[in-house]
Structure 1
Amino acid sequence: MNDGLPHDGAGPFHDTVRAMAEDIEIRADTGTLPAFATAPIGFALGSVANLFSAIGTIWIGLMMVMIVLDVIGRNFFNAPITGVAEIAGRSVVAIVFLQIAAAVMQGRLTRADFLIRRIGSASPGAARLLDSLFLLVGALVFALILWASWPNTIKAFETSEFFGVQGVFTIPTLPFRAITVLGCAVALLACLYRAAMTWRAPGGAA
C-alpha cells in the first residue's frame, strides 16, 4: 500500500522521523520499589509516596461519583448535593499534593526530555548534572511551599478554620492544609533523594 510517505530505505526522511520519535520518547522509571535491603531510604520514601498516591487515586474516584450524583440530583430531581463545588475545589489541590511525591520517585515529572537525551548522548555526566539540578530546584520549590503553608496550617488548627456557608454547609480546612504540608514534605525528601541517587550513579541505591 502506498500512503504517499517514504518507508524503509527512503533515506533521510525515515532517519529524521526515527530520530524525532526517539527524542520525544517519555522516559520514566517502572515505579517498582527498590528492595529494603539494598535501598532502605528509597524503599521507605517510595512506600509513603505510593500510599499517598493510592489515597489520591481513591479520592479522585469518590469525587467523580459525588459530582455525577450532584449533576443527576440537580437536573432530574431538583435536589443538588450541598457543598459539592466547595469540596471539589479543595480536593483538586489536595490530590495534587498527595500524588506529586510518587511522580518524583518514579521520574514522571514533566520536563523537556528530548533535550536531556541529546545532552546525555554527548555527555552523560552533563545530563546527570542537569537532572540533579532539576530535582534540586524542585526541592527548593517544595520547601518554599512548605514554609508558606505551615503558618496557615497552624492557624487552621488553633482557630478551627472552616470553609463554606455557616448554617448551610461547612467543613474544616485543617485536613486540606495538612495534606499540602505532608505532601510537600514527602515530595521535598523525594527530590533530594532522587538528586543524590542521580548524581552518585544511575540506578544507585541508598
Structure 2
Amino acid sequence: MADDIEIKADDGTVPPFATAPVGAVLGNAANALSAIGTVWIGLMMVMIVVDVIGRNLFNAPVTGVAEIAGRSVVAIVFLQIAAAVMQGRLTRADFLIRRIQRASPGMARFLDTLFALVGALVFAMILLASWPNMMEAWTTADFFGVQGVFTIPTFPFRVITVIGCSMALLACLYRATITWRTPNGAAA
C-alpha cells in the first residue's frame, strides 16, 4: 500500500481555497472536466498520427480528422478553462501584479477581484450566445462535415461549450469572492 502524500495548499498545485466546501466541489468538478480534456488531447494526437501515417505510407488518410480536430480544439479549451480559473493559471501579467502586490496589497487584491469579475462577465456573455446555438443544434440535428463522406453532430460540441462556460463563470465568481475576502488576495 502506498503512503499517503500530504499536498500542501502552498505548493502551487492546489489552490489555497480548495479546502473550502464550495471550492472543493467546484474545484473537483473543474479538475474532472480538465482531465477529460487532457485525455481528449491524447486521443486527438493518436488520431492525427494515425492519419499522417495512413496518408503518407498507405495513401489512405483517416476520414474526418480535420473536422474532428477543428471542433476538438474549441471543446478542449472549454473543458479546461474552469480548472485554469480555479487554479489562478489564466494568462496575465504576473510581473505587474507582483509589483503592485509589493507596493499595495489592497490594490493587487482589487485588481485580482476585478479580473475575476470581468472574466465572469465574459463567460456569461459567451454562455448567453452559446445557449441558443446549442438548442438549435439539438432541435435541428445539426451536423458538420461532408454529407455522404463524413458527418458528426454539432450538439455534443455545443453542450461542452455551454458546460465549460457555466463552470468557468462559477469559477470566476467563486475566485472573485475568495480573493476579495482574503486579506492578501487569493494567491495564484
TM-score by length of 1: 0.82
Q: Which of 30, 34, 40 is matched with 2:13 structurally?
A: 30
Deviation of residue 117 (structure 1)?
A: 1.1
Greater radius of gyration (CA): 1
Q: Which of 124, 133, 147 is matched with 1:166 structurally?
A: 147
CA RMSD of aligned residues (A): 1.7
Does the CA contact (< 8 Å) of 2:108 and 2:185 recur in 1? no
Deviation of residue 29 (structure 1)?
A: 3.9
Q: Which of 120, 129, 138 is matched with 1:148 structurally?
A: 129
Supply the distance in 2 between the matched residues of 1:31 and 1:139 (Cα, whole angstroms): 21
Deviation of residue 74 (structure 1)?
A: 0.5
Tell me whether 1:179 sits opposite 2:139 in the alignment: no
Change (3 A) 1:99 1:190: same
Matched residue type, 1:30: T
TM-score by length of 2: 0.89
- Aligned residues: percent identity? 75
Structure 2: gaps spanning 5 or more residues: 1-10
Map residues 111-126 of structure 1 onto 2, 5 A cutoff.
111-126=92-107
Q: What secondary structure is seen at the aligned counterpart in 1 of 2:127? A: helix
Matched residue type, 1:92: V
Does the CA contact (< 8 Å) of 1:86 and 1:164 recur in 2? yes
Please, which moves more after superposition, 117-126 or 96-105?
117-126
Supply the distance in 1 between the matched residues of 2:126 and 2:120 (Cα, whole angstroms): 10
Deviation of residue 203 (structure 1)?
A: 6.9
Map residues 60-75 of structure 1 onto 2, 5 A cutoff.
60-75=41-56
Supply the distance in 2 between the matched residues of 1:166 and 1:157 (Cα, whole angstroms): 18
Supply the distance in 2 between the matched residues of 1:145 and 1:166 (Cα, whole angstroms): 29
Tell me whether 1:42 sits opposite 2:28 in the alignment: no
Deviation of residue 31 (structure 1)?
A: 2.5
Q: Which of 96, 103, 116 is matched with 2:77 structurally?
A: 96
Q: What secondary structure is seen at the aligned counterpart in 2 of 1:73? A: helix
